[in-house]
Amino acid sequence: MREIGRAFAAGSVDIATALVALRVNVLRSVLTALGVMIGVLAVTLAVAIGEGAKVSVQQAIYTMGSNMAMVFPQPESRGGRRSLERGRLTGADGEAVEHQVPGVTAIAPQLRNTTQLIVDGRHVSTSTIGATPGYAEVSNINVNDGRFLKDADVAAAARVIVLGPTVATSLFGEADPIGRAIRVNRVPFTVIGVMEAKGSSFGRDNDDVAVVPITTARQRFGTSSPGPDDVAALFVGFDEETDLEDAKRRIIEVLRQRNHVQAEALNPFTITTTQEFAEQTKAITMIFQAVLVAIASVSLLVGGVGIMNIMLISVTERTREIGLRMALGARRRDIRNQFLTESAVLCLLGGAIGLVVALVLANLFERLAGFPAPIGAGAAAATLMFSAGLGLMFGSYPAIRASRLSPIDALRSE
């Protein structure tokens, strides 16, 4: 304990001495710390933007559905090869998947069109999805007002519509749209619900959408599909315990059998799971973050070189002081620790200022751009520790050089 107390006392003296030395040349200290501040600011913001990209990906996955497979009638391509068959996907395929693949919680066949919605002279163009009640469960959709589609709506091809919040606000403002009539591609529909807001992901407004029964969409809007039961997409929801990789394999087996695909032929459909989407986007965001950090680290390296240059100048200017301290009994390690502490304190101050500016800019970025840029307590602490380590690394050479000076030669210097 006595040795720890001595070490703590010595460290406190070194820090106090470092602060006095830095205060003697305030302007030079500020300009030197500025390089570290800019470097820490750039690296911190780069890490924050990378973390924000990961958060956006997680939000996008939750918006689509946390545990599901998305099946599209686009032919598969593999190694430069592409299926020559035209892709097809039908509602019957969805029913077969629901009955033959274990773990399925809901099936959501879809048709998609861009439609004009008009009410009282106001009109908007939006993406209209023809769906079934299972679409709400698979895609994590909650209804804020009214209700979502029911099986009876699909069976009767009812002219009812559920609006996204963006569409509802554009058409009705603050008024209650439930029960109101609107025209969809000149066809009258009744609003039965308004979905809960989901926000934006990847620059796309998830609330700028409308949902109608899939049978109504097929009758009223028409499709480019070759068959009366064809769909544009099939979302398959699974319970949380289901292995999506195994589920995807089973879906492929069912659909290949139904489409009579030969053993060596490519699939006339494509399947993507939310797990695959998460892994792909995670790899992209990690590369994106690494590139940003690498670019920003250049400015941090420049700041570190600036610290070393200033410390070398400080050693040269204070040669007589070093010689006098040695003559009065200071050991070489005391001289080394003094300059190391000065360098670490200088970098720590620059890093702290850079961190504060980064927090302000990240907050401003989140408010103006609507893009998350989180800087957690762990990242902040790591930034400060890294700043101090940077000072120790770039200050080590000047500190060692100062400690190796000859006391006699140092006292003789002018």
Same domain, 204 and 303: no
pLDDT at residue 29 tops 60: yes
**Tally of domains in the chain:** 2
pLDDT at 53 over 90: no
CB-based burial, 232-270: b 16+ in 10 Å, e otherwise: bbbbbbbeeebebeebbebbbebbbebbebeeeebbbbb
Provide the domain limits for residue 51. Answer: 10-60+280-412
Band (pLDDT 50/70/90 cuts) for residue 1 is very low
Residue 72 forms beta bridges with which residues?
A: 270
Residue 169 placed within a domain: yes
Residues 21 and 97 in one domain: no
Residue 170 has pLDDT above 60, yes or no: yes
Residue 285 and residue 269 share a domain: no
Decide which of 282 and 212 is more confident: 212
Whether residue 178 is contained in a domain is answered as yes
Q: Which residue has the higher pLDDT, 168 or 54?
A: 168
Q: What is the pLDDT of residue 203?
A: 62
Residues 6+ apart with CB under 8 A from 105: 137, 138, 237, 238, 239
Rounded Cα gap, residues 212 and 131, in angstroms = 6
Q: Quote the mean pLDDT of the chain.
A: 81
Task: Tell whether 246 and 361 lie within a shared domain.
Answer: no
Residue 160, in any domain of the structure: yes
CA atoms within a 13 Å half-sphere pointing along the CA-CB vector of 317: 10
User: At residue 17, does pLDDT exceed 50?
Assistant: yes
Give me the pLDDT at residue 21, please: 57
Same domain flag for 26 and 147: no
64 pLDDT exceeds 80?
no
pLDDT in tens, 110-140: 998 888 999 988 889 999 999 999 999 888 8
121 and 245 in a single domain? The answer is yes
Answer with the one of 273, 292, 309 that is the final residue of a domain: 273
In Å, the largest CA–CA distance within the chain is: 103
Whether residues 91 and 23 share a domain: the answer is no
173 plus 255 within the same structural domain? yes
Please report the pLDDT score of residue 31 as a whole number: 73
Give the pLDDT of residue 11.
Answer: 45
In a domain, residue 346? The reply is: yes
52 with 76, same domain: the answer is no
Q: How confident is the model at residue 22 (pLDDT cuts 50, 70, 90)?
A: low
User: Among residues 238, 253, 273, which one ends one of the domains?
Assistant: 273
Residue 139 inside a domain? The answer is yes
- Residue 274 pLDDT: 84
The pLDDT of residue 14 = 52
Do 237 and 157 belong to one domain? yes
The pLDDT of 316-327, averaged and rounded, is: 78
pLDDT, tens digit, 9 for 90 and up, residues 195-234: 998 876 666 778 899 999 999 998 887 665 556 788 989 9
The answer as to whether 372 is a domain residue is yes
Is the domain of 45 the same as that of 90? no
Looking at the domain assignment, is residue 1 inside a domain?
no
Give 52's pLDDT tier (boundaries 50, 70, 90). confident
Please state the pTM of the whole predicted model.
0.67
Would you say residue 2 lies in a domain? no
Last residue of a domain, one of 273, 288, 313: 273
302 and 158 in a single domain? The answer is no
